Amino acid sequence: MTGRAWLVAILALAACSKAPGAGAPPTPYDQQAGASADTTPVVRLERAPCFGTCPVYEVSIARSGKVRYLGKNHVRTAGVASALIEPEQVESLLKALEDGGYFGFADGYVMDSPACGMYATDSPTVITTVTAGGRSKTIRHDYGCHGAPRELAGLERMIDDVAGTDKWTGRE
């Protein structure tokens, strides 16, 4: 192939390639491109469905105090909502999670996991993620697992309280 033929082949291949980011999976609603460290969530909570009318939603809290909510089912507010809390509340929440042993709990209290203990079906599951002090941890907590520490459910409720989810879920 001549030099010109190589150039034409390279240009043709470049024209066929995808644009940057094309075909990439969409980013979660609270981790959009260009988000600064102050707007990236440090605490996330998702309440998944149960057999019944348990509220189904996600909430995230950023270090800046930005709260982002996504209501799905059995909630007063379906869709996206947001609020702003004081950054000091976020720091207090992170400290309470740390002091409450969040990072020492098992990664999962779900059916067939060693930490589950006795299991009852049809209960809701709560998934939390906390990023603080250079570490990140996600816990899947099926409320049907009787081996889960009571403190974990208390910490989950504390996240809801600080985020103010009651105004969107209708649980007051």
Tell me phi and psi for residue 84, to 5 degrees: -130, 130
Cβ-based neighbours of 98, under 8 Å, separated by 6 or more: 132, 133
Q: Could you tell me if residue 145 is inside a domain?
A: yes
Q: Residue 76 gets which letter from DSSP?
A: S
Q: Could you tell me if residue 136 is inside a domain?
A: yes
- Which domain, by its residues, includes 110? 41-169
Q: Could you tell me if residue 93 is inside a domain?
A: yes
Q: Could you tell me if residue 25 is inside a domain?
A: no
Q: How confident is the model at residue 171 (pLDDT cuts 50, 70, 90)?
A: confident
Q: How many domains does the chain have?
A: 1
pLDDT, tens only, 93-137: 999 999 999 999 999 999 999 999 999 999 999 999 999 989 999
pLDDT, tens only, 57-97: 999 999 999 999 999 999 999 999 999 999 999 999 999 99
Please tell me the pTM assigned to this model.
0.79
Q: Could you tell me if residue 54 is inside a domain?
A: yes
pLDDT, tens only, 38-52: 789 999 999 999 999
Residue 58: CATH number of its domain: 3.30.1560.10
Q: Could you tell me if residue 26 is inside a domain?
A: no
Q: Could you tell me if residue 32 is inside a domain?
A: no
Q: Could you tell me if residue 23 is inside a domain?
A: no
Strands across the sheet containing 56-62: 79-84, 66-73, 56-62, 41-47, 125-132, 135-142, 108-109
Sheet strands (E) in the chain: 41-47, 56-62, 66-73, 79-84, 108-109, 125-132, 135-142
